[in-house]
């Protein structure tokens, strides 16, 4: 059977289960350093929303290697504050390769010409604005890093440190960290907070589907409020 270039690049990589066992109790920087070693810089990317907790993972990555490519999904519905925060963190952390990926205009014109899809079918909106652009952006890579944590609950409560994601390895270096660990990274490195955090936005996504969160709610309660939806799809859809 003919191998794709991605499958060819993945030949010889350790199995996800093997890596997960080895890294089960590893510190986040060790997970990223191991990913870099076994995959190689040319085949590894970090995906970041530049949201309220994103600076912590980006800081750890930058300390390992600030030239690791960072994929940022610019959906067309993001807060201006998030776009400015992205630029602030690029400068603050010296990130050398941040790639802002947008949905295809032809797809938006065909499937969301009135920009109302977020209301009528939020899953479809996430698919054309996040899932499909990420799949396109990840094509050159055989592994990716993300910032999910088990303490966020829901579908994230049992995530491994390393998992198989279609043809790719997926590293979750913050799987084991606590909220206090995140706060400690921000404090120690004097990282700037997301501008919307002080206004009660504990988890920030696209404007129409993000609301403020009260102190007694889960941090992600403000995402898709009033709907059963809890994930945009990039972590529940296997990449090709």
Give the Å distances, CA to CA, from 237 to 41, 135, 166, 186, 232: 24, 10, 9, 31, 9
126 is catalytic: no
- Beta strands of 143-204 (E only): which ranges? 143-145, 162-165, 168-171
CA–CA dist 27, 133 (Å, integer): 30
Q: Which of 125, 206, 209, 232 is catalytic?
A: 232
From 16, 40, 33, select the one nearest 141 (Cα to Cα). Answer: 40
DSSP-derived pairing of the beta strands 162-165 and 168-171 = antiparallel
Residue 110 has a CB neighbour count (10 Å cut-off) of 10
- Could you give the residue numbers annotated as active site? 232
């Amino acid at each position: 059977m003919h191998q794709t270039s991605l499958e060819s690049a993945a030949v010889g990589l350790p199995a996800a289960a093997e890596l997960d066992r080895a890294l089960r109790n590893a510190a986040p920087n060790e997970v990223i350093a191991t990913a870099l070693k076994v995959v190689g810089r040319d085949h590894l990317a970090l995906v970041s929303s530049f949201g309220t907790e994103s600076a912590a993972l980006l800081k750890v990555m930058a300390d390992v290697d600030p030239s690791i490519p960072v994929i940022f999904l610019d959906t067309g519905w993001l807060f201006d504050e998030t776009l400015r925060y992205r630029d602030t963190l690029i400068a603050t952390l010296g990130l050398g390769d941040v790639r802002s990926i947008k949905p295809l205009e032809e797809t938006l014109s065909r499937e969301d010409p009135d920009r109302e899809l977020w209301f009528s079918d939020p899953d479809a909106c996430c698919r054309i604005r996040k899932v499909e652009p990420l799949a396109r952006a990840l094509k050159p890579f055989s592994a990716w890093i993300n910032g999910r944590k088990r303490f966020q609950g829901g579908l994230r409560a049992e995530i491994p440190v390393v998992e198989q994601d279609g043809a790719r390895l997926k590293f979750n270096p913050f799987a084991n960290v606590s909220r206090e660990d995140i706060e400690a990274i921000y404090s120690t490195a004097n990282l700037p907070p997301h501008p919307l955090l002080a206004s009660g936005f504990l988890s920030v996504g696209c404007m129409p589907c993000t609301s403020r969160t009260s102190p007694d709610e889960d941090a992600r309660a403000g995402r898709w409020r009033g709907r059963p939806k809890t994930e945009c799809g990039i972590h529940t859809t296997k990449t090709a």
